[in-house]
Amino acid sequence: MSIAVYPGSFDPITLGHLNIIRRSAAIFNEVLVCVMVNSGKNPLFNLDERVELIERTVARFQNVRVESSAKLLVEFMKERDANVIVKGLRAVSDFDREFQIAMINRKLDESIETVFVPSSEKYTYISSTVVKEMARYGADLETFVPMEIIEDVKRKVESEGWR
Domains of the chain: 3-121 (3.40.50.620)
Res. 38 pLDDT band, cuts 50 70 90: confident
pLDDT surpassing 80 at residue 160: no
Catalytic residues: 17, 41, 90, 128
What percentage of the chain carries pLDDT values higher than 70? 98
CB-based contact 63:30 (threshold 8 Å)? yes
Smallest CA-to-CA distance from 8 within 89, 83, 112, 81 is with 89
In this prediction, residues 90-118 reach a mean pLDDT of 92
